[in-house]
Chains A and B, each alone.
Chain A
Amino acid sequence: MLLYILKRVLSAISVVIVTLVASFALFFFAPTDPAGVICGPRCTPERVADIEASLGLDQPKVEQIALYMKGIVVGREYSTGGVVRHCDAPCLGYSYTLGQPVTKLIGAALPVTVSIVLGGAVVYLIVGILSGTIAAQVRGTSLDRFVVGTTLVVQAIPYFVFALLIALYATFLPDSGYHPFLDNPLTWASGLLAAWLTIGVTNAASYTRYSRASMIEALGQDFVRTATSKGISRRRVVYRHGLRAGLTPVVTIFGIDLAFQLTGAIFTESIFNLPGLGLLTLRAFGQYDLPVLMGGVLIGSAVLVVMNLVVDIVYTFLDPRVRLG
C-alpha cells in the first residue's frame, strides 16, 4: 500500500511538472508584453528593458523554465533596481502587478476556496445522497417524481444565475465575506453561508440523481435480496447493504467534482466577494500577471492528481475487491 502510494505520488509529481512546462511554454511564448503591463502606458523602452532584465525575461526561454523550476525547489533571488529580494522555496515568482510573492497570494486565497468548496460539499453530499437514497426506495411514486422533477428544475438554472438569485433575494442570510476560521469559527461560517448554499443546492441536484440511479442499481442487486431474506430490517438492508455498494460510484464523481470546484469557484467567489483562488487567477488573467497564472495552474493540476489518488485509496476501503498494486 505504502509502495503504491509512493509510486502514485511520484507519477503525480511528474504529471504536475509536465503540466507546468506545457503551460509555461503556452503563456510565455504568447505575444504578451508583461514588462509593458507593469510599466504602464507612458513607458520608455529603457525602462521596459530594465524591468525585463529584472524579471529574467531577457533570458532564453529554456533558461527561464529552468529558473522557475529551480525557484520551486530551492528558492530564487530577484533584483529590481539594485534591490535584491529573496524568494523562499517554493518560489513561484513575484506577481507583476501586485509585487508580492505568488506563494503568499495563493497562500491567502487557498483557505478561502477550500472553505467554500468543502462547506458546499458537505451540504450537497448530505442533501444529495439522502434524497437520492429516499427517492430510490420509493421509486415510481409521486414522492420520487417530485424529487426527480425538482432536480431537473434546479439543474436547468445556470449556476451563476442561482448564485445571483441568492445574493439578491436571500437577504436574511448574514453578509458574506471571508474571516479566517482560526479567528472566529462563527463569523467564518456566517460569512460563507451564502456561498455554501449556492454550491450546495446547485450540486445537490446532480448528486441526488447520481445517488438515486446508483441506489436503484444497488437495491436491485442479488445481495440485497439475500440481505432481505436474512430477516434484517429494511432500514439496515438499505443503509448498510445497499448504500455501501451504491456510494462507491458516487465517490469517484465526488473526487473529480471537488478538484474542479477547487480551481473553478470563480462565480461564487466573485458574486459573494470572497478572495479565493478563482478571483485571484481571474484578475491575473486580465492583467497578464503570468507568475500568478502559473501558480494557479500549478495548484489546479496538483489538486486534480491528488484528488484522483485520494479517490483510488478511498476505493480500497470501500471495496475489498480492489487491491492496489
Chain B
Amino acid sequence: MSDQTTGVPQTVSRVPRAAATGEEAYLEVTDLQVQFPTADGLVRAVQGLSYSVPLRRTLAIVGESGSGKSVSSMAVLGLHDRRVARITGSIKVGGREVVNMSDKDLEGFRGGDAAMIFQDPQSSLHPYFTVGNQIIESYRAHNNVSKRVAKARAIDMLGRVGIPNPSRRVDQYPHEFSGGMRQRAMIAMALVNDPKLLIADEPTTALDVTVQAQILDLIADLQRDFGSAVVFITHDLGVVAEIADDILVMYAGTAVEHGPVNKILGEPLHPYAWGLLESIPALTGEPQPLHPIPGSPPSLLAVPSGCPFHPRCEFKDRVPDDWCTTLRPDLIPRTADLGRTSRCHLKDPDKVFETEVLPRLP
C-alpha cells in the first residue's frame, strides 16, 4: 500500500519560537457569537469570543468537545450553513470582514487567503477522486491556469510536504495512501494557494504518535516558509506546548484564559486550566493520583448562569456574594502580568496556583 521507506530517522531539536513581535493582527475575531436554533432550543455554541493572530504566529485553541473551538474556527472560513447558524460579531481576515460576506466573495476567500486542515484525513478527502485531482481543483479555483500547470504545481506541493515519489502519487486515490500520507496530502491541498491563514482543526488527533510528531514538524516548517498565521485547534496540551506561541482555552463557548503558551501552561490562572493540567498523567516521576474536574461539561442548550464553569469549580466558595453563580466574569488581566487574560472572579489566582495547585500536579 504505502512506500516502505527505509530511512535514517533524524534527531530533531525544535528551535525556540520567535518572541511576540507586536505585529498587526492578520486574523481578528471580535465578540463572535455562533448560535444554532434547534427543536430543543437555542444552542449557544460560541458566546462573545475575541482573539487575534498576527502573521508568523500560531495560536492554539484548546478545549473539550462542545467547547466551541471547532465551531468558532469554521465560522472564520464561513463554513457554517447560514440557514442553520446565527453568526454575529466580527471576523476580520487581512482587513476583510468575513461575517456576512457574500457567497461569491467567500468562494474567493476560502482556500485562497485562508485554508483549513481537518481532523480525519480519511473522511476529509473525497474517496472517488485522485489526490492530485483534488489538489488541482483547489489550485484552479483560485488561479486561471491549465490543468497541466496545475498538476505540476500539485506534484510540487506533494513533494514539499514530504510525500515520496510525488509524480506517481499524484494519480493515486486517497485509499492508496497511509494515514500520515493522507494528512500530508491534505496539508498540500490547503497550502497550494499560499494562504496567509491556516486553520488546523485537530490535524493529528487521528494519527499515531510517531506520525503525529512528523506532521507537527511539517506544519511548523511550512509555517516558517510560508509565513502564515496558524490557528491550531486541539485538546492535547502536549501538542500545544510543542507547536503554539499563544493559547486560548475555551470552555462552554467562551474563552476562559488567553496568553502566551509558556505562561498559560506554566502558570495558569483559571481553575478549569488547573483541572486540565491535573487530569493529564505525567511521563516521568512517581505517578500521583489524578485530580480530575468533577462533573461534565454543560449542555450548550442551558449554559449555567454567571461563570459557566461554576458548577464544576472547587474554588467558587472563595468568591464572595454568589458572584460565580450570578455574574459572568470578564476576560481581563487578573494579575500584574498584563500580557495575559482570564475569566474568573478568584482573587490572586497566581498565589492560589503556586500554593495549592502546583504541588499536586502530576
Report if A and B associate in a common complex: yes
Residues of A within 8 A of B (CB): 140-141, 221-223, 225-234, 241, 244-245, 318-321
Q: CA–CA, A229 to B199, complex, Å?
A: 11
The closest CB in chain B to the CB of A223 belongs to: B126
Cβ of B292 under 8 Å from chain A: no
The closest CB in chain A to the CB of B130 belongs to: A320
Assuming the contacts A226-B118, A229-B110, asked whether A319 and B128 have C-beta atoms less than 8 A apart, the reply is yes
Residues of B within 8 A of A (CB): 77, 79, 83, 103, 106-112, 115-116, 118, 120, 123-130, 137-138, 141-142, 173, 175, 186, 189
The closest CB in chain A to the CB of B189 belongs to: A230
Question: Do residues B115 and A321 form an inter-chain contact, with CB atoms below 8 A?
Answer: no
Question: Do residues A319 and B124 form an inter-chain contact, with CB atoms below 8 A?
Answer: no
Q: CA–CA, A234 to B128, complex, Å?
A: 19
8 A–B pairs (Cβ distance < 8 Å), ordered by A = A221-B123, A229-B116, A231-B111, A231-B142, A232-B137, A234-B103, A244-B126, A320-B175
Measured CB to CB, the closest approach of chain B to A316, in angstroms, equals: 11
Secondary structure dominating the interface of B: mixed
A221-B123, A320-B175 given; name 4 further pairs at CB < 8 Å. A228-B79, A233-B107, A320-B127, A320-B128
Measured CB to CB, the closest approach of chain B to A242, in angstroms, equals: 10
Assuming the contacts A225-B79, A225-B118, asked whether A319 and B127 have C-beta atoms less than 8 A apart, the reply is yes
Question: Do residues A244 and B128 form an inter-chain contact, with CB atoms below 8 A?
Answer: yes
Question: Do residues A245 and B126 form an inter-chain contact, with CB atoms below 8 A?
Answer: yes
The closest CB in chain B to the CB of A320 belongs to: B173
Which chain B residues lie closer than 8 Å to A232 at the CB level? 107, 111, 137-138, 141
The closest CB in chain B to the CB of A237 belongs to: B107
Measured CB to CB, the closest approach of chain A to B82, in angstroms, equals: 12
Assuming the contacts A229-B79, A231-B108, A233-B107, asked whether A223 and B138 have C-beta atoms less than 8 A apart, the reply is no
Which chain A residues lie closer than 8 Å to B137 at the CB level? 230, 232
Measured CB to CB, the closest approach of chain B to A70, in angstroms, equals: 47
Question: Do residues A223 and B110 form an inter-chain contact, with CB atoms below 8 A?
Answer: no
Q: CA–CA, A319 to B129, complex, Å?
A: 9
Which chain A residues lie closer than 8 Å to B106 at the CB level? 231
Question: Do residues B124 and A225 form an inter-chain contact, with CB atoms below 8 A?
Answer: yes
Measured CB to CB, the closest approach of chain A to B195, in angstroms, equals: 10
A-B CB proximity, top 8 nearest: A231-B111, A231-B110, A222-B123, A230-B111, A223-B126, A230-B138, A222-B124, A320-B173
Measured CB to CB, the closest approach of chain B to A108, in angstroms, equals: 42
* The residue from A140, A223, A245, A320 contacting B124, defined by CB atoms under 8 A apart: A223
Q: CA–CA, A318 to B138, complex, Å?
A: 21
Q: CA–CA, A232 to B130, complex, Å?
A: 17
Which chain A residues lie closer than 8 Å to B115 at the CB level? 229-230
Which chain A residues lie closer than 8 Å to B83 at the CB level? 140-141
Question: Do residues A321 and B108 form an inter-chain contact, with CB atoms below 8 A?
Answer: no
Which chain B residues lie closer than 8 Å to A319 at the CB level? 127-128
Question: Do residues B118 and A245 form an inter-chain contact, with CB atoms below 8 A?
Answer: no
Which chain B residues lie closer than 8 Å to A221 at the CB level? 123
Measured CB to CB, the closest approach of chain A to B348, in angstroms, equals: 44
The closest CB in chain B to the CB of A141 belongs to: B83
Which chain A residues lie closer than 8 Å to B109 at the CB level? 231
